[in-house]
Chain A
Amino acid sequence: MHDLSLRGLTKRFGSVAAVDDLTLDIPGGKFICLLGPSGCGKTTLLRLVAGLEEPTAGRILVGGQDQTDTPTHRRNFGMVFQSLALFPHLSVGDNVAYPLAIRGTPRAQRRARAEELLALVQLPGMADRRVHQLSGGQRQRVAIARGLAIDPRLFLLDEPLSALDANLREHMQIELRQLQTRLGVTTVVVTHDQKEALTMADVVIVMDQGRVQQMGAPMEVYRNPANAFVAGFIGTSNLLPGRLLDTSTLDISGQRLALGPGDRVKCPPGPAILSVRPEDVRFGPDGLPAHVTFIRDLGESVQIILDHAGQEVTALFSPRERPEVAIGHAVTLTFAPGGCVVLAP
């Protein structure tokens, strides 16, 4: 259970800062997801932690020890690459046991540990197979087993599930989370898939332009986004530009909107953005005027797309609560108590 701390960590490529002055403390034993759009610096950050990139400035501490100048091969981390990077010239068992072979573990012991790890990732008895004989999901499991072979101080995964199809990916997300809970190893996963992050993580770190936009528990990040970027990136959000008149009144295209006690205001009076989740949009007698532009019956839910003064607003209902509306109908929008977050533009 090793904490990971970053102190002013910076990596520049030419004039571009891929990771920009990051200071973070990640608690040990947790499952952390680095989430962000491509090019936000999340993979660079993971590679810095692994020692595969040299930081321009800053320090990396693991369990209180400074690792910044420790070469990759002495850090004792486990890592799963996006391409998986399984060795085609070795059998499945030898792949898993490679980190042990490097450390001079006797052959019999290596073999036993490989079998144990393969059983852990639900691939018992596969040690003698060749890598190319495995399916995508099986290769994924082998890569995870190999990353865990030495009981790593940190387990780093770079978009580990991106090559799998949707069903298998969801299955592996659950499996990976369960495995981490069982082993308690501090795990950092890079992903651009917010659902994946919400499924697996204890702590989500949302990154953009080399900086941390928000760090917190998945539901906290979802319910209480720190800024418009996080609100737009995590899940679907309706982002309506307006003006904050005082701490409890908002003006959206000329309509006054009173904020309730559970709603959160994160900017001073002035121009603001109202962020509301689709599931918090309701139809009521009094509110923002809008008309229905499209209805998507998705089976498990009903998505109603509306137009309010030229702004698109999405509302989400369960099939049982489906309002009796059709395309073109005029409605008024209200927001569920506690569903509004007012952010700086």
Chain B
Amino acid sequence: MSGRDAATPTWLGLIPGVVLAALFLVPFGIMLAVSVALRDPSGSGFYTWGFELQSYARVFTFFVGRILFVSMTIAAGAAVISVALALPFTVILAQMSRRAQTVILVILLSVLSLSEVIIGFSVSTLLSQTAGVGNLLALLRITEQPRAYTPSLFALMTGLCYLTFPYSVLVLYPPVARLDPELVEASRTMGASPLRTFFGVTVPLLRAPILGALILVFVFALGSYLLPQVLGRPEHWTLSVHITDQAVYQSNLPFAAAMAVVLLLAALALVGLALLVARERRAA
């Protein structure tokens, strides 16, 4: 395409590329360098430049491996629950009147403006013994005594799903809204119940956006470090929590950087694997 004829000059497209490189690759390079730097135990500086694999050796231990596994499992779980809730929600949303859709989407977008901190402490309060759900259940005599439901895996998942649900809906909404309603109707006329149609037609047609939403929420949840501390027990602390702990409280930047590098590579590998599986299945 010649520059004269193009409506958008080609160099304009380079700007995001350059910015991305500057803001992502440069810090990542620094982090790589820090991860092999020598730790300075004296406490004056955090590290001195150098090359040793000491920090990586600490990463590849059972302890860190288990944390990485827990992190991935929690993130994957949150992704599955969040998208499983968002998909039927979005399908129903797309069938509503334009006006109702706008109102609901605006409410969802406003949820995005809440920070992780507010969501974390709200859920924590809601599930605590003295306020919220516990008291309500006792009042309704479903339980005998009001009890705390936080910290727990349930509380953590609730927080993560609340945080990521709007993202799932926003990723799924455009393709769901574009879905030809005659495809669903055709399935109905051929004898499929609404539920059967949902799983037999709607879900397969939306396979790509569903995978996209799963990856987005997975990556999002993997990077969350505040919710696991507020809502989870120590055994639910994700690698991100430990990275923060090492970097901020233990002043061990090389070890934190090494864990961050491994977390990034593991996440990339998993996302790549998911895309590969999706492509295989489409080709099949």
A88 adjacent to B189 (CB under 8 Å): no
How many A-B Cβ pairs are below 8 Å?
64
Give the contacting residue for B191; candidates A50, A85, A89, A150; CB below 8 A.
Answer: A150
Give the contacting residue for A99; candidates B183, B190, B193; CB below 8 A.
Answer: B190
Known A73-B192, A102-B192; contact A85-B204, beta-carbon cutoff 8 A: no
B186 adjacent to A81 (CB under 8 Å): yes
A102 adjacent to B183 (CB under 8 Å): no
Bound CA span A89–B187, Å: 13
User: In the complex, which residues of chain A have a beta carbon less than 8 angstroms from the beta carbon of B192?
Assistant: 73, 98, 102
Bound CA span A34–B207, Å: 38
User: In the complex, which residues of chain A have a beta carbon less than 8 angstroms from the beta carbon of B201?
Assistant: 87
Bound CA span A72–B184, Å: 12
| Residues 81-97 of A at the B interface (beta carbon under 8 Å) | 81-83, 85, 87-89
B188 within 8 A of A: yes
Give the contacting residue for B180; candidates A52, A83, A102; CB below 8 A.
Answer: A83
B189 adjacent to A79 (CB under 8 Å): yes
B205 within 8 A of A: yes
B204 adjacent to A50 (CB under 8 Å): no
A82 adjacent to B190 (CB under 8 Å): no
Summarize A's interface: helix, strand, loop or mixed: loop
B279 within 8 A of A: no
A73 adjacent to B189 (CB under 8 Å): yes
Give the contacting residue for A72; candidates B182, B188, B204; CB below 8 A.
Answer: B188
Bound CA span A79–B187, Å: 10
Known A83-B182, A85-B183, A88-B205; contact A102-B190, beta-carbon cutoff 8 A: yes
Bound CA span A78–B207, Å: 27
User: In the complex, which residues of chain B have a beta carbon less than 8 angstroms from the beta carbon of A72?
Assistant: 185, 188-189
Give the contacting residue for B190; candidates A51, A71, A83, A146; CB below 8 A.
Answer: A146
Bound CA span A246–B190, Å: 57
Question: How many residues of chain B get a CB closer than 8 Å to chain A's CBs?
Answer: 19
A76 within 8 A of B: yes
Bound CA span A82–B207, Å: 25
A182 within 8 A of B: no
B196 within 8 A of A: yes
Chain A's closest residue to B191 (CB) is: A102
Give the contacting residue for A85; candidates B186, B200, B207; CB below 8 A.
Answer: B186
Chain A's closest residue to B194 (CB) is: A73
A98 adjacent to B189 (CB under 8 Å): no
Question: How many residues of chain A get a CB closer than 8 Å to chain B's CBs?
Answer: 27
| Chain B proximity of A85: nearest CB distance (Å) | 4
| Chain B proximity of A131: nearest CB distance (Å) | 11
| Chain A proximity of B56: nearest CB distance (Å) | 44
Bound CA span A99–B185, Å: 13
- Best-buried of B186, B194, B201 by chain A (most CB within 10 Å): B186
Bound CA span A33–B85, Å: 44
User: In the complex, which residues of chain B have a beta carbon less than 8 angstroms from the beta carbon of A85?
Assistant: 180, 182-183, 185-186
B205 adjacent to A89 (CB under 8 Å): yes
| Chain B proximity of A167: nearest CB distance (Å) | 26
User: In the complex, which residues of chain A have a beta carbon less than 8 angstroms from the beta carbon of B186?
Assistant: 79, 81, 85, 87
| Residues 53-78 of A at the B interface (beta carbon under 8 Å) | 71-78
What 1/0 flags go to B190-224 for Cβ under 8 Å of A? 11111010001100110100000000000000000
Bound CA span A99–B201, Å: 12
User: In the complex, which residues of chain B have a beta carbon less than 8 angstroms from the beta carbon of A320?
Assistant: none
Give the contacting residue for B188; candidates A73, A76, A78, A89; CB below 8 A.
Answer: A73
| Chain A proximity of B132: nearest CB distance (Å) | 41
A171 within 8 A of B: no
A102 adjacent to B196 (CB under 8 Å): yes
B185 adjacent to A98 (CB under 8 Å): no
Bound CA span A75–B185, Å: 13
| Chain B proximity of A282: nearest CB distance (Å) | 49
User: In the complex, which residues of chain B have a beta carbon less than 8 angstroms from the beta carbon of A296?
Assistant: none
B190 adjacent to A81 (CB under 8 Å): no
| Chain A proximity of B10: nearest CB distance (Å) | 32
User: In the complex, which residues of chain A have a beta carbon less than 8 angstroms from the beta carbon of B189?
Assistant: 50-52, 72-73, 75, 77-79, 156
Give the contacting residue for B185; candidates A52, A71, A74; CB below 8 A.
Answer: A52
A73 adjacent to B191 (CB under 8 Å): yes
B190 adjacent to A52 (CB under 8 Å): no
User: In the complex, which residues of chain B have a beta carbon less than 8 angstroms from the beta carbon of A74?
Assistant: 191
| Chain A proximity of B185: nearest CB distance (Å) | 5
Chain A's closest residue to B205 (CB) is: A89
Bound CA span A150–B192, Å: 13
Known A89-B204, A89-B205; contact A81-B191, beta-carbon cutoff 8 A: no
Chain B's closest residue to A150 (CB) is: B191
Give the contacting residue for A76; candidates B183, B191, B193, B207; CB below 8 A.
Answer: B191
B191 adjacent to A87 (CB under 8 Å): no
Chain B's closest residue to A83 (CB) is: B182
| Residues 133-190 of B at the A interface (beta carbon under 8 Å) | 180, 182-183, 185-190
Known A87-B201, A102-B196; contact A82-B191, beta-carbon cutoff 8 A: no
Chain A's closest residue to B193 (CB) is: A73
Give 17 A-B pairs besides A99-B191, A102-B192 with Cβ atoms closer than 8 angstroms.
A73-B188, A73-B189, A73-B190, A73-B194, A73-B196, A74-B191, A85-B186, A89-B207, A98-B187, A98-B190, A102-B190, A102-B196, A102-B200, A146-B190, A149-B190, A150-B191, A156-B189
Closest 9 pairs (CB-CB, A-B) = A85-B186, A99-B190, A79-B189, A85-B182, A72-B188, A102-B191, A89-B204, A81-B182, A102-B192
11 pairs, A vs B, C-beta closer than 8 Å: A52-B185, A73-B191, A74-B191, A78-B189, A79-B186, A79-B189, A85-B183, A89-B207, A99-B191, A102-B190, A150-B191
